Structures are given as structure tokens and as C-alpha cells.
Structure 1
Amino acid sequence: MIRSIIALVFTFSSAAAVATEAPQAWSLGGLWRAHDGNDLHFPGWRGSDKNWRQLRVPANWYSAGWDHQGALWYRTEFSVPTLPAGRLATLEFDGVDYYADVWFNGHQRLRHEGYFQRFAVDVTRDMRRYNKLAVRVDSPFEDPKTNWPLRKNLMKGVLNQHDSRPGGAWSPQGQDANSGGVWAPVRLRLSRDVAIDNLILRPDWSQGLAHPQLRAEIVYRAPAGKTAELVLAARPDNFSGKNFQLRQSVTLQATGNASQRVSLLLPMPEARLWWPIGYGKPHLYQVSATLRDAAGVLDRRSSRTGLRQVVEQPDNRGWLVNGQRVFIRGTNYIGSPWLSTMTKQRYHRDFDLVKKMNANAIRVHGHVAGRPLYQAADEQGIMIWQDVPLQWGYNDSKEFADNAVRQTQEMMEQFGNAPSVVVWGGQNEPPFDSPWMEKRFPDWHKELNRNLMQRVADTLAKDDTRIVHPFSAVEEHYWAGWYFGTLDKLLEPAKTATITEFGAQALPKFSTFKTIIPRRDWWPATTQPGDPKWTSWKYHNFQPIQTFKNAGLSRGNSIPDFIANTQQYQAQLVAIAAESYRRQRFQPVTALFQFMFVETWPSINWGIVDYLRHPKAGYFALQRAYQPLLPSIDPVTTQWKQGQAGKVNLWVINDLPTSHSGSQLVWQIRQGRNVLAEGKKAVEIEPDSGIKVVELQVMPTGTLPLTIHSKIIGSGGKKLAENRLTLQTITEKE
């Protein structure tokens, strides 16, 4: 019996209508049937499925209510009118995690590997009026005895190993809550004689910024060769402006089940450019590629893109976007371990928070997200550092490297139309660059994954329209104050131009905390990590060693005390770090990314926004530290002592391309009711600049906290920006 939920989406007046209408597509989403697929001998593509469980598609199976490891069989049925001659039928999957074996009407049609890619299945020859689709989806449990976690076999990045996953990165539970499933949309597409599977768009600046062009590459399949007209059209998507079009005769090759490509160049004189936050509007164009013959449209594929130029200048002189130097104020971002739960609306909600925090970029950390993320970032003008999904260690074979190269190329081709993606980033902390792994893994060696990293980086470098960062190195992760050292190390000179991680953990607000840790485990007897009550905390990513030993934090007398202590510390750390590295703008720092923006599940980790999207104190501290126009406070040291003179440097930093002449920097330093220093000084604020305005000598007279307040007053008397910093003071004996 054909399931009506699927059959109803196909309503045609007649088969003749199918022959004459333009290319069509229909969603196959809904309630499918599912069955445990770990038994390799179970013939899930045939037989009755009436006793199978219902499972929503698209969805990760965990988020749809099935906590499962390994394989599931999925099945659905649908009906279509009889197709006329020349019609091509293509099943299109936007994302299946991780292996997909696709069976259609009793025939196995494809085996695909990779969780984030769109892939097409030609089902033309097997298409009937009534159709049965079966997919065996396998997201395997990596064997801890052989390959997990140092030599993983699945290219899933943070989705199957990361500090912020259920169970954490290193525990036996680190692979809990598997991300497998048919997690992205599935559709049936009908076209005539030709199927366009992808439209790859890249800006071309060979004629200069004043004369933009668009390079288009059409990836197609055709059973037989033929001549057609290709029409490439670009129209404004989020503004009113000029349309552009190009028509060109093309000879299409017979491809069989493979694919071919045809390229062309569309001049777009006077086109409007895509700009990031703070520099202009993110202008977007809807681009369509249409193949026609004398009988009409063969197939059409559309995609949205924007025209922007990105250049990394040598010698740490910064990144140029459309010729304008931009300082990157960023944050690491993972929306969820279960990507199907993140809709475009939810990404917009998160990015609204990112923008209100004065950040202009995110690093999509160690994974490729769902397509709605890139759509939302394009629309909001948020720049993206896009990592490949390689996190720590992997199988070091040539075969795995070959596979990683293929998947990297697919990432570039399928997500590269997004103008928001300004950087392709390679493997995160590859083993050869991570000597800390030697203590954890007896079989670690200093060349592990070097070839993998290089081959992936070489693949990324084929895209000449973006910055390529070969791998995210340990030395770019500034974890002082959490994994090592004190806060004072964050005030030292940076050693790298890019800082891709810095931060600390903090507990969420009490109402959120109560949804995470069972009440019976709220208050372990001691702060020693071995206390069994810390087990549930650690499962939810909390790090007691770093909290109590490294950072030296106190729990206080209650959970609210503990929350306040951790949030205050996180806030102080991220503000000190962000301001320190902003004062080093282009000497050498060009980009910084705080770790981590949001907690991705009921977790206690590095997020400055909890999983229910409530900001912590660290969010507001970074909001101040990330102000484009910032009166920055350099305390020189965080170790202030009663009766011992210290120094405070006050800076003005302006990331924007606008000046503020005739301004004043105004400051006051207090200890309780005592004013230790105050004053003001005229300052000419140049565009894209950072200057030290004044050095102050300060003598704490007691042990009350030291409060430093600084603000910028414009020429008309209006307050343009303000900042504050609170420092603890101690006695000489302490």
C-alpha cells in the first residue's frame, strides 16, 4: 500500500503535463519506516515493513528519539505518473550520516560515504508508477581497541570526537548520542535529457574590483550527447539593482552515470559587492543556469552567491575584503552535534547574538554544518572560517587520505558559493603538531597525519578566491589561564598572526544548570576529580582539574556562588585576552576566535552562551572587548598588591574605516570610594588604527578591588564607547 503522506506530494493533472512543464522537484520528507540494520544479513530492502518503527526524515536518529549506534534501514514509498520518454529521474540526498546504501525498486543504485555532501542517484531506468526506496544508513561505532580516537576512520570531525560532545573527548562514553541518520532533505527531481547536479560559482577579479565577473561551472549528467543553449542569469536577491545574463551554445557530452562540466564567465559591470558586518551591505545575487533546446527547458539549477574579494596580505599586514583591511573579531561555533535540529531560523537567532556581541566572524569548528548556516551567514554579513571535518587523529593510510581529498573537494564545490566563507581551514590540531598526544597514546609519532594534512591543504589551495589555512596549530590556541599558566600570560606578546582558540569554562545560570546535573550530584564532597559525583559533571564536559587546580576557583557555599565564581573568571579571561590581542593588531595579530560561542547540548563547557541560549557574563565581557571602537585597558599585570605601584596603559582601538576627529579619552581609577587617578586627553582617532594614549602610575591603598573606567567622547560631546575592568588586589603577604 502506498503511504499517502508521500503519495500526496505528487499531484499531476496528466502525464502530458509532466512532459511539457519545466523541471520539477518534490520533497520526500515525512515519516519513513526504520529497522535496526546492524545485522548484515537482514534484507531490509525487501519484504514487509509494516512492523517497523516510524522515524522522521529528515532528522538525525538521536534527535528523532532513537539512541542508536551503527546501521539502520530506512524505507518509504511514493507514486508518480508514468514518465514520458526522455525524462530523467534523480533522487537527491542533501546529507546522510555517514554511509548510505541506496536501493530503489529492488536494485542497489549507490553506496555513498560522507555525512555533509549532497549526492544524486539516477533512478530513471527503475522508475515505476509505484516506487519503493530503501536506504541502509551506517554511522559506525569506532572501535576504541583499534582506531578510536587517534586513528579514526570516519571523516566527521567534532561530530564523533570533541570536548563538547556527550561524554567528552576521551571517556569511554565519548561516542554517545550518535549523529547518524538521513538528517537533511531528500527530494525527487525530474528533468529532460539532462540533469544538472551542481552549479559552482566563484568571483573573478582578473579585470579588477571595478569590473567584477562571475565564473560558473555546471556539473551535469546526460545519457546522450546533444547541443543546447546555456543561459546564465544573475538577479539581485536582497536589494534592487541590475540583472545580468549570458547565453551560450554548448555541446553536452554523453556521460553515462558519470558527470561532465561546462564553464562560462559572466561579466557583471557595476555589480554590488558583498560586504561583512561594519563595512557595507551583504549584497547577494540569485544565479540560475538553464539548459534549453528547441522543445524547451532541459534542466535548471539555481544558487545564491555574492561578489567579494578576499586577500591575505604578507607579513601580518591583515586581510583585505574588497580592498578594505578588516580585523577579525571572531568566535568558534558549533550549533549542535545533531545538525538536523538547526534550522535557518535558529542560525539567525544565534547570529543575531553573535552580531550583538560585536563579533564579525565565526569559525565553524571542525565540521561542515547544514546549508541553512551558510545561508544565514550570507544574509547577515558574518564572515566564516570553515574547517574541514578533521579533528585530531585519523587513519594514516593513503586510502584514508585519498578519501579525505575527495570529501574536501566536495565541501569546496558544494559550499563554496557562500560569500561568507572567507577561509578554508584544514585539520584541527593534527597529531604531528600535537606533542601532548605522546603522553596519551603509546603509538603516537611526530609524523602522524602529516601527509593527510598536506594533501587536504593542497586541495583547499585550489580555490584562489579564499584564504587557506593549512591546519589549526597548537601554537595558535592560547589557553593560558585554563590549561596552563596564569591570566598574565594573556598579556604577553602573541607569537602568531591568527589566534583560533582562547577561553575558559563557566557554569550556566542556575535555571539552566538544574536541567543538566541531577540534584543528587549537585555538591560533591570535595573538589577532587575522583569524587564519584563529579562523574555526571564530567560527562557533561565540566573539567574539575582545570577549574580547581589550574584556574584556582572556589566553589563558595552554594551552586549560585559556584556559578558566579566561574562566570566571573570566564568573563575576566576572555576580556583580558581579547583586548590584549586587539592591542597587537597586525603586530602580529590579524584574527582571533574565542572558544566557544554556544554550548551545543545540556553541557557545562567553554560556551559564553548556554545551550538554552542564555548569555553568561563572558558574553557581555566579550561584547565590550569586541567593540569596533574600543577604549582598551591594559593593566600590564593582573597581580596587583596593596602599597605597590603599578602601571595602567590606556589605548584607543578603531577597527572601522571611519575617523573620529576632535575626540577625548576620559578615565577614572577607583578603589572603593578613593579615586586613585582620573583625567582626560584629546585624541584624533584615525580609521583602522590602534594607539596607546596614556600611561598611568597607580598605587593601590587597600585590598578592595581596583576599578578602571575609560570612555571615548566624540567632538559633539556624545559618548562613543566605554569600557571597564575590575582587578583584585592583595596584601604583600598573599
Structure 2
Amino acid sequence: YWGDHLREINKSAWVYKRTFTVPDVPHKRVRLHFEAVDYYASVWVNDQFVGQHEGNFAPFELDVSRFVHQSEPNTLVVRVTSPWDKPNPKGSYPIDHVIRGLVKGLYEHGEGVIPPDVNPIGIWRPVSLLLDDGISVDQVRIRTQLNGQIDLKMTVTNATDEVFHGSLDLVVKADNHKGQGVTLRSPIQLQAGTQIIEHRLSVPDPQLWWSWDHGAPNLYQLACTVCDESDTSITNHTETFGIRTVRLERSPERFTYYLNERPIFLRGSSYIPELYLSQCTPEKFERDVNFARQANLNLLRVHVHVSPPELYALCDRVGMLVWQDFELNWTQSYAVEFERRALALQREMIDLLGNHPSIMTWVCHNEPTMVFTRRQNLEQHPDPALYSDACQQDPTRPVFICSGQIEEDWQRGGDVHSYYGSIWTADYTDIAEHAFRLNTEFGFEAPAALSTLKQYPDLWERLKHLENQIDDLWDYQGELIQYQVEYLRRLRAECCTGYIHFWLTDMIPQVGCGVLDSNRNAKGGYGALQRASQPLHVALEHNGKRPASLWIFNDTMQAYPKAVVRWTVRDANGQILLDDKQSFDVEANSVQKVCDTGWNVVPNDCARVELSLIDANGQVLSENAYKHPFQPSPRPEGYPWKFDPYLGTKVFNRPDAPSLADYNINKALKLIPLPVREHLAEWGMRQKMPIWLVSGIAKLGDVLLRG
């Protein structure tokens, strides 16, 4: 994971070579199918160049019919490169010290996410040899309506020199339920080349796909079969899909997501399953999605990458929504040529994933203005073109031009990343100064479990000073997450449609924002996220100094008339200071203020507050608790500035660690005293200035600092 020696891996091409024979079966076409290669791939068969591909996630095929020998061995050579970006001498680590030139999220990120010396490379998914009669259904785009209408757009290829006459059979049947299906047979005539065939079907009594907290994730199977004139099957193609709609109602005042025209509140966390995606397995995905489900989350944000296909199929089946990022992160190239490459790969992403009902949003770029003087991506290339193209390619889902940092542009973006009590401010209660329409990043970095840290000597040597601090750091992470999740849930009453915490799991042993470490040990934040994200939840509103009111959050479709809210306040010795209750009618799919507290207790005497929600039959529906809620823990010493360049992570109060505000920055900035720089950086990351002013400063900065 760490060390300059890892960078050597990417300084040369990786060359794969093997021999293969073509099976002795009737066929007219031979194709090589690559499920995924990272990053640039060039392919030769029998010393003849047959094609190339850019990207790290998308399958691609090459027709090698005229290059292969039918009765003797063939030689296949694949040359793969994933080069490092050139240093940007006028930038600052870890944000724009390079201008990212690959359309790829998972490499050299640093700052607690991806170690600075990691850049995955190679063939990491299977390669297959495909033989057929020259006819293939290459892609099927499926769009659905709530009345059961299904619109199909099929890309079909006839690679022969003759016109093909036959029929197309379409069969839709229930997959995981007992609903009805539909069939259609139609004659087809295929000219040589690639063509589009469109059909509309209607499923009787459609069984809709829902997230797990709103219903059943009902799925259907589509089988497309092309037959010749003798009714012999020539090729077939299958897809799994769900009947559902999703939309985002945007306004300057509030956002509201709708699933199947029902308002839905997002309770999510960001997710990268592994640093090296080749290590992913279906079993690991099932484990992690189960962790998310047990944490009461209804959404995973697939952060700055496209995951292996098994993740999306699993989310479809268990009813886990997916917020899908494209592969751009922070400062990317703003050349027109880079825009062209990014557009091609974004189209491949949407084509690849577009039939998954779990995917409910596309995001073109994560935090392109992380350095607010770097606005070329957002304002010039490639983000405006990516946004326009995604909206045109898939008008059935909301699209965000970027995630974070353009709150004012509510029509194309409008979500917010906030790090109060973390890298923005010293107090996590500061979040209450900010009303969000949608918060898609917040959290706090905490170390992995002691057993995980000690597995790696290099890591432990640099983090052993934390041995007796881990519990306190975990407690702080938990406090911050619970407070901020409950605040965001209260905002549903006025403006907010959900939250996406940052993030579920650390990819490697480190100090990271994950509430699970890389060995899936739960940090303090996991229990807090689980508790605060209950679909039916009772919560205390407070400002860190005194209580204010009690709330009920009900994201389910069940109402609870004549319920009872009960609260108990205890001192440090466990003695009851206050014990009371109130009857309350809980509405379905709502957020409600129960009452103001008005508690006659001294706030600092309140060591524990216990809440419960009980139905009319006396059954406990939800429980919650707070430890010393009116004496919030301070932000840990040394955070967020003490930093280890080798690990690429924060190290809190390690005495010999440099400050991020003093590491690899522009020489002119070093004239400013370090504490002032740190304070200004925290203020700058909040990006509270008007867009016109920020753009003006950015243009001036380009002239003065970068030419």
C-alpha cells in the first residue's frame, strides 16, 4: 500500500502473452471479450494489431475473425499501461500537486483515501473468446413506467455480408416474485452492420421495484432471442431489470427525491469496496451490503469509481439504492482532448449500468473545485459537456454536474459536502448553522482497530502513538455522526431530502473516515450511524449546551397512532433526574416535532439521556441514548493538520509530523505564518464566497500563479 517502490510498477508497460486455439465448432465470427483492463490496453493477435481501449471498468470486444488461425495455435499479446501524472510544481498536495490525466478515480488520491503511491494496473477481469454466426444483440436499453410500459432499444449487429431474415422473440417474466409477464415475436430483417431495433411491451399488473425500507425489490427477466427462418436460435441476450421511476424535485428552497412517485428520504454512506478491485468477490460484496443494511442505510454512494458488476446485481436484489459517481475526482485536465476521452467513458458507464433499478443518480465529477482557484473543470472542460451528455443519454434519472461545492447551482448540482467538527471547524455542532437540501459528504477520520494497525509494521511504527487514544477517537467519531445525522433528518421538515455519510469502510489499514476498518472491525461511528439511521427513530434536538425538543423521524409507510414518547435523564451515578412521557400520533413517511423539552435540570448534570418510542400496544418501536450530550467532546488535538506523507493520512498529535498547510505548497504562501494558513485553509474549504467572486479570484489566480 505504501512506498515509492510501488511507483515503479507503473513506469513500464505490462505485457501479457498467451496462446490459444479456436474451438472446432461451426462459426462465422470470432471476438475477444475483455471484461475490464486498467487502464490503456493495446491488443495484438498473431503479431497483428487488432485494437485498443482506454478505461478501467468497461468491457470491450474486438473482432479478430480475420486475424486468427482456425487450425493452429494463436498468439495473443496485450500491452497495458497506467501512467503517473506529471507533477504540477505550482500546485499543493494533495489536491492539485498533479493535474489528473486519467479518467479513473481510484489512484493516487492521498489524504486518508488512496495512498499516494498506488495506481492499479493490469487485466483484472476475465477474457473470453466468443464464437457466433455473425449475429449478436450487443446491448438492450430498458426504460419503464409505473403502468407496466417497457420501452426497449436494442443494438443488434449483423457481421456477415448478407441480409439476415428471421424473427426476434422477447420474453419478460417475473424473477423473484409471482407477477405476470409478457411475450412478443416479431419478424426482423438485418442489413449488414449495426442497427437499432425498438419495441414497446406492457406488463400486466406490474410489481414495482422498491428500496428495502419501502417495499419489495421486485425484479423481472428479459430474454431476447434472434431466430433464423427455420426457427433455430442464432443468438440470445438476457437482462434483469425492475419496473420503477425515480426523480428529483429541485428548487432553491428544497430537494425531494421520489421513488415510484413516493417521497423518499435517503440514508446513505459512500463506498469503495477495495483499493484493488480485482480483490472483490461476491461474498465480500454481500458482507458489506449486509453491513450497510444492518446500519439501516437505504443507499450506497459508489464513490468516484465504477464497481464490479456483482455489486449492482446484489443491490438490485436486496433493494439498496445506488448513487453512482463517474470516475473523475478533484483537479482533472481541462484540455478538450481529455473532455473527448471522458465523454466516451461516461457513455460506457451509463450504457453498462443503465438497466439497474438500484441506480438512482449519476454524478459527473466529485469536488472539481476542491481548490477554489481551479474552476476550469467546472466552468470549461469537461464538466459542462459531461452533464449535458448524461442528461441526454439518460433522461430517466437525476444528473449532478458535480458533487459538492456548488450549492448555489441547485439546477445542475446543489448538494453539499460539509466537515464541521472535522476539517472545516473545531465544533461538530456548527453544522446547525447550515440548512442543506442534500448533504452527500460528512464524517471524521478515525484509526483502524489496534489489531488491524499492528498487522503492518510500517503503519504501526507511524501510528503507535495512538495506541491509548483509539477509544477516544472512536467516541468522537460516533458523537459527530449521531449529532449530524439527526440534524439532517430534522431538516427533512423544511428542505432536506437525505444524507450520504463519508464513508462505510476503509479500503486499507489507515486513519480513515470509514466506520468499519479494512478488516471490517466496527469503529465507534458504526453504532452511531446505525442508531441514528433507524427508519423509525426518536431523537433529541440540542445545541451541545442545552436540550431543545424531541422529534420523531418515520421513513416508513406505517403510521402509529396513540404512540408514547418516553424520556429518562440520569446523572453520572445513574440516578434518575427526570422521567416522563407524552402521547403522540406518529404519521407515516414524515418528520415531526413532538414537543419542546423545558426540562428542569442542569445541563452539565445530564450524563445520559434515554429515549424510547412505544406503540399503543406497549411494544417498543425505537430506542435512542446520548452520553453527556451537553458536554460535547472537542476536536482531537493535531487534527486535521498533522499528516504523514508516506501513509497519506492524518496522524493527530504525532510531534514529528508536518502540517498539511506546510507541505508541498506554493513558496509565496509560506510567507504567511503556519497557524494563519491553517485557519485560512479551513475557512477556504467551506467555500462560502459568491460564485462570481470565486470565479474572479480563480481567473486572477490563473494569471498570477499559473500563467
Q: TM-score range by the shorter chain?
A: 0.7 to 0.9
Single out whichever of 446-455 and 495-504 deviates more from structure 2. 446-455
Question: Which residue in 2 is equivalent to 1:19?
Answer: none
Question: Which residue in 2 is equivalent to 1:677?
Answer: 578
Q: Distance in 2 between matches of 1:503 and 1:592?
A: 11
CA contact (8 A) 2:43 2:49 kept: yes
1:372-411: CA deviations, max 9, x gaps? 1101111111000001111011111111111111111111
Q: CA deviation at 1:516?
A: 4.0
CA contact (8 A) 2:269 2:501 kept: yes
CA contact (8 A) 1:149 1:161 kept: no
Is 1:484 aligned to residue 420 of structure 2?
no
Secondary structure of 2:469's match?
Answer: helix
CA contact (8 A) 2:149 2:200 kept: no
Question: Which residue in 1 is equivalent to 2:138?
Answer: 197
Question: Which residue in 1 is equivalent to 2:360?
Answer: 422
CA contact (8 A) 2:306 2:326 kept: yes
CA contact (8 A) 1:96 1:114 kept: yes
Is 1:513 aligned to residue 456 of structure 2?
no
CA RMSD of aligned residues (A): 2.5
Q: CA deviation at 1:238?
A: 2.1
Q: Distance in 2 between matches of 1:514 and 1:180?
A: 28
Is 1:455 aligned to residue 385 of structure 2?
yes
Secondary structure of 2:338's match?
Answer: helix
Single out whichever of 366-375 and 487-496 deviates more from structure 2. 487-496
Question: Which residue in 2 is equivalent to 1:612?
Answer: 519
Q: CA deviation at 1:717?
A: 0.3
Pairing partner for 1:366 from 301, 304, 312: 304
Change (3 A) 1:702 1:483: closer
Give the residue type in structure 1 aligned to 2:481.
Answer: V
Q: Distance in 1 between matches of 2:247 and 2:570?
A: 45
Q: Distance in 1 between matches of 2:242 and 2:493?
A: 27
Give the residue type in structure 2 aligned to 1:672.
Answer: A
Q: CA deviation at 1:69?
A: 4.4
CA contact (8 A) 1:504 1:570 kept: yes
Give the residue type in structure 1 aligned to 2:422.
Answer: W
Q: Distance in 2 between matches of 1:483 and 1:293?
A: 64
Question: Which residue in 2 is equivalent to 1:566?
Answer: 473
What TM-score does the superposition give when structure 2 sets the normalisation length? Answer: 0.81
Q: Distance in 1 between matches of 2:433 and 2:489?
A: 11
Pairing partner for 2:104 from 156, 160, 172: 156
Give the residue type in structure 2 aligned to 1:501.
Answer: E
Is 1:269 aligned to residue 241 of structure 2?
no
Q: CA deviation at 1:277?
A: 1.1
Give the residue type in structure 1 aligned to 2:398.
Answer: I
Is 1:470 aligned to residue 401 of structure 2?
yes
Alignment of 1:492-511 (within 5 A): 492-511=432-451
Q: Distance in 2 between matches of 1:485 and 1:165?
A: 20
Question: Which residue in 2 is equivalent to 1:88?
Answer: 29
Q: Distance in 2 between matches of 1:121 and 1:446?
A: 36
Question: Which residue in 1 is equivalent to 2:637?
Answer: none
Change (3 A) 1:437 1:494: closer
Change (3 A) 1:219 1:725: farther
Give the residue type in structure 2 aligned to 1:151.
Answer: I
Pairing partner for 2:350 from 388, 401, 412: 412
What TM-score does the superposition give when structure 1 sets the normalisation length? Answer: 0.78
Alignment of 1:231-630 (within 5 A): 231-255=169-193, 259-295=194-230, 296-315=232-251, 316=254, 318-431=256-369, 434=370, 436-438=371-373, 444=374, 450-462=380-392, 463-474=394-405, 475=407, 476-516=416-456, 518=458, 519-524=460-465, 559=467, 561-630=468-537
Is 1:656 aligned to residue 556 of structure 2?
yes
Question: Which residue in 1 is equivalent to 2:671?
Answer: none
- In structure 1, the gaps of 5 or more residues are 1-61, 168-173, 439-443, 525-554, 641-645
Question: Which residue in 2 is equivalent to 1:693?
Answer: 594
Secondary structure of 1:318's match?
Answer: strand
CA contact (8 A) 2:567 2:580 kept: yes
Question: Which residue in 2 is equivalent to 1:528?
Answer: none
Secondary structure of 1:400's match?
Answer: helix
CA contact (8 A) 1:102 1:134 kept: yes
Q: CA deviation at 1:350?
A: 0.3
Question: Which residue in 1 is equivalent to 2:566?
Answer: 666
Q: Distance in 2 between matches of 1:488 and 1:101?
A: 50
Secondary structure of 2:492's match?
Answer: coil
1:684-729: CA deviations, max 9, x gaps? 0010111111222346658566311110011110100011112266
Q: CA deviation at 1:357?
A: 0.2
Secondary structure of 1:210's match?
Answer: coil
Q: Distance in 2 between matches of 1:72 and 1:447?
A: 31
CA contact (8 A) 2:549 2:593 kept: yes
Q: CA deviation at 1:586?
A: 5.0
Question: Which residue in 1 is equivalent to 2:691?
Answer: none
Single out whichever of 567-576 and 335-344 deviates more from structure 2. 335-344
1:637-682: CA deviations, max 9, x gaps? 21x3xxxxx3331111101111011100000122224433321000
Secondary structure of 1:461's match?
Answer: helix
Q: Distance in 1 between matches of 2:325 and 2:463?
A: 36
Change (3 A) 1:131 1:286: farther
The number of residue pairs the alignment matches comes to 605
Change (3 A) 1:367 1:164: farther
Change (3 A) 1:615 1:122: same
Single out whichever of 675-684 and 123-132 deviates more from structure 2. 123-132
Give the residue type in structure 2 aligned to 1:139.
Answer: S
CA contact (8 A) 1:159 1:367 kept: no
CA contact (8 A) 1:368 1:387 kept: yes
Q: CA deviation at 1:81?
A: 3.3
Q: CA deviation at 1:189?
A: 1.4
Give the residue type in structure 2 aligned to 1:504.
Answer: F
Pairing partner for 1:211 from 142, 148, 156: 148
Change (3 A) 1:412 1:447: closer
Q: Distance in 2 between matches of 1:723 and 1:197?
A: 52
Change (3 A) 1:82 1:222: same
Q: CA deviation at 1:565?
A: 0.8
Q: CA deviation at 1:114?
A: 1.0
Single out whichever of 492-501 and 146-155 deviates more from structure 2. 146-155
Q: CA deviation at 1:100?
A: 0.7
Secondary structure of 1:158's match?
Answer: coil
Question: Which residue in 2 is equivalent to 1:106?
Answer: 47
Give the residue type in structure 2 aligned to 1:93.
Answer: F
Secondary structure of 2:627's match?
Answer: strand
Change (3 A) 1:446 1:425: closer
Q: Distance in 1 between matches of 2:181 and 2:220?
A: 9
CA contact (8 A) 1:700 1:729 kept: no
Give the residue type in structure 1 aligned to 2:296.
Answer: N
Change (3 A) 1:384 1:445: closer
Is 1:144 aligned to residue 51 of structure 2?
no
Change (3 A) 1:327 1:522: closer
Alignment of 1:59-70 (within 5 A): 67-70=9-12
Give the residue type in structure 2 aligned to 1:283.
Answer: N
Change (3 A) 1:407 1:392: same
Single out whichever of 113-122 and 693-702 deviates more from structure 2. 693-702
Q: CA deviation at 1:94?
A: 1.1
CA contact (8 A) 2:181 2:204 kept: no
Q: Distance in 1 between matches of 2:323 and 2:454?
A: 34
Secondary structure of 1:564's match?
Answer: helix
Single out whichever of 180-189 and 567-576 deviates more from structure 2. 180-189
Give the residue type in structure 2 aligned to 1:400.
Answer: F
How many percent identity over aligned positions?
29
Question: Which residue in 1 is equivalent to 2:635?
Answer: none
Change (3 A) 1:221 1:113: farther
Change (3 A) 1:586 1:163: farther
Change (3 A) 1:317 1:161: closer
Q: CA deviation at 1:161?
A: 2.7
